[in-house]
Amino acid sequence: MNYSTRVLIAVIFASAAADSAFAGVNIYASPTGLPTHNGSINSPVDLATALSSPAVPLGATIWLRGGTYAGFYTSYLTGTQAKPITVRGYPGERATISDNRNWADGATLHIYGAWTIYQDFEVTNTGTDRLGPAPTAAPFRPMGIEVEAPYTKLINLVIHDTGHGMGVWTNAQGAEMYGNIIYNCGSHNTPGVMNMYGHGMYIQNDTDQKLISDNIIFNQFGWGISIYPNPGGIKNITMEGNIIFDNGINTSPTQRYNAVGVSGYPPYTSNGIIMSNNYTYDSGPQVWGSVESDANMCLGCYDQLQNGSLSVTGNYFAGGMPSGILKGWQQLTFSGNTTVGFDAFYLLNEPQQGTYSWNNNTYAGGNNASPGALFLFQNSLYNFTGWQAASGFDAASQYIPGRPTSVAAFVRPNAYEAGRGNVVVYNWPLRSSITLDLSPILTIGSTYKIVNVLNYYGPPVASGTYTGGLVTVPLSAVQPVPAIGWTAVPSSGPEFNAFVVTSQ
């Protein structure tokens, strides 16, 4: 028996020994774990073994103890609808999967299998090169999480400084992305090489409904959420309760890319796109570049074929040049939205046989560059009353010229973790603080902390014991944590702030 054969037999034996030891539904992994360990809390396995072992029981939870899991990993875990497998950060400890590759295909965590949940841990990349090795056909910075597994849930993760934050493809039907915090992802967008690369989320879908909810996505090098074929389906996607702001700012201090982009090319068309109760913001100054990429929302703006249905309701949109571009939708509902813009509101091309319901909206601001040029409808510019007459839309809507004068704040409790929630504040009068009712999130007697997402791992801006009633939250500007290997960018505060509230 030669040396290679003996090594192979030893590896197989060790793997089998570890696999046969996973008898419980709680399996523990740690950065110092070994494949020969049994996965108990006192004998944790390594992460690679935990993610690839076929002996992980249905319904099991793999607990990631605190520390740094260096490298990149592939998960083959496969649960069932009744008994999904969960990979979760251990309570009270910070578990971090950390890549260091500047340029490579793939992801830091690549997910195959099915019916799995990934929750409460961090994914990052410490590579410092954001420019690329050459001016032609430069490879990408590895994305944070790549999902090719149906019915996967990504919950309350923190993803930063990777390539795309996450790519969730067509073969990950029924996936859910909830409560994740994604920032500083991507590389410098050299025109013609990596144009608008580094999105918070890169999404494709076809069958089943893909849910993107209550995520906070900001300060990418590229877009916030990009829904684009490349190739793959772009259908049946719901976006609800997301906070998306200042994406593109890491490419240039005066550059903003789409908070949400939905676009296809033949033969791919969009259908079944739902946007409800989302919150976007682009700070100034912003300069003109490409009208499609400059818009706060680009919904069908590049498309050559007619899309199916789009529903946009109850959102609060702020910023962009213009606020939104909508083209080629056969069925469109746009109602109950508030739009604050200072470089035109919407560019809309309605197909001749489209079915449109566009009403009960509020617009504030105007067009500083061209006063009165607020809407572009069927390639003609209109002010608000002209838009109403030409389109037949917004009969029950209102337009308020100039800057808003009151604070708009929204509180959203977390569906997966009691005592946790997101808060977003549009501080138009530039107040130093605000009092908020946090009773939808906190229970009386709980200790809480409130962090500004621009410095998520930094000190809280407020903390204490909740006694009921209103809580005072400071609104002063917080300096964003710089992207690794890159320069600092301006703060969105005090005009706009996003917070995460947690409690015990």
> Pick from 488, 458, 473, 379: which is nearest to 422 by CA?
473
Whether 17 has a pLDDT exceeding 60, the answer reads no
- Say if 27 falls within a structural domain: no
Give 140's pLDDT tier (boundaries 50, 70, 90).
Answer: confident
- pLDDT score for 10: 33
Whether 157 has a pLDDT exceeding 60, the answer reads yes
Give 23's pLDDT tier (boundaries 50, 70, 90).
Answer: low
The CA distance from 305 to 275, in Å, is 21
Identify whether 150 is preceded by a cis peptide bond (ω within 30 of 0).
no
- pLDDT score for 373: 87
Give 9's pLDDT tier (boundaries 50, 70, 90).
Answer: very low
- Looking at the structure, tell me whether residues 393 and 426 fall in a common domain: no
The CA distance from 302 to 46, in Å, is 46
Give 196's pLDDT tier (boundaries 50, 70, 90).
Answer: low
- pLDDT score for 16: 40
3-class DSSP string for 349-412: ECCCCCEEEEECCEEEECECCCCCCCEEECCEEECHHHHHHHHCCCCCCEEEEECCCCCEEEEE
- Looking at the structure, tell me whether residues 372 and 489 fall in a common domain: no
Whether 19 has a pLDDT exceeding 70, the answer reads no
- Say if 276 falls within a structural domain: yes
Whether 112 has a pLDDT exceeding 80, the answer reads yes
The CA distance from 368 to 390, in Å, is 23
Q: Which of 255-269, 289-303, 406-420 has the highest mean pLDDT?
A: 406-420
Whether 369 has a pLDDT exceeding 90, the answer reads no
- pLDDT score for 195: 57
For the segment 433-453, the average pLDDT, to the nearest whole number, is 98
Whether 15 has a pLDDT exceeding 70, the answer reads no
- pTM, to two decimals: 0.94
Q: Record the tokens describing residue 126, joined without a space.
A: 């410490």
- Say if 49 falls within a structural domain: no
- Say if 157 falls within a structural domain: yes
- Looking at the structure, tell me whether residues 413 and 397 fall in a common domain: no
For the segment 176-199, the average pLDDT, to the nearest whole number, is 82
The CA distance from 217 to 214, in Å, is 10
- Say if 14 falls within a structural domain: no
Domain boundary among 401, 430, 447: 401
Identify the CATH number of the domain in which residue 89 sits.
2.160.20
For the segment 200-218, the average pLDDT, to the nearest whole number, is 98
Rounded to the nearest integer, the mean pLDDT of the chain is 92
For residue 18, give the H/E element and its range.
Answer: helix 3-21
> Pick from 340, 291, 287, 345: which is nearest to 318 by CA?
340
- Please write the tens of the pLDDT for every residue from 268-317: 999 999 999 999 999 987 887 777 889 999 999 877 789 999 999 999 99
Which stretch of 184-188, 240-244, 331-335 has the lowest confidence by average pLDDT? 184-188
- pLDDT score for 21: 58
- Please write the tens of the pLDDT for every residue from 346-358: 999 888 788 999 9
Strands 85-89, 61-64: pairing kind = parallel
Identify the CATH number of the domain in which residue 489 sits.
2.60.40
Whether 76 has a pLDDT exceeding 60, the answer reads yes
- Looking at the structure, tell me whether residues 138 and 256 fall in a common domain: yes
Whether 31 has a pLDDT exceeding 60, the answer reads yes
The CA distance from 461 to 433, in Å, is 11
- pLDDT score for 452: 98
The values of phi and psi at residue 15, to 5°, are -65, -45
Whether 229 has a pLDDT exceeding 80, the answer reads yes
Residues of the domain holding 486: 409-503
Angle at the Cα of 74 from the Cα atoms of 77 and 233, rounded to 5 degrees: 85
Give 329's pLDDT tier (boundaries 50, 70, 90).
Answer: very high
How much of the chain exceeds pLDDT 90, in percent?
81
Strands 496-503, 421-426: pairing kind = antiparallel
- Looking at the structure, tell me whether residues 328 and 384 fall in a common domain: yes
Please give the tally of structural domains in the chain.
2
- pLDDT score for 302: 79
- Say if 293 falls within a structural domain: yes
- pLDDT score for 5: 35
- Looking at the structure, tell me whether residues 289 and 305 fall in a common domain: yes
Domain boundary among 380, 401, 422: 401
- Say if 287 falls within a structural domain: yes
3-class DSSP string for 130-186: CCCCCCCCCCCCCEEEEECCCCCEEECCEEECCCCCEEECCCCCCCEEECCEEECCC
- pLDDT score for 304: 78
Domain boundary among 354, 375, 401: 401
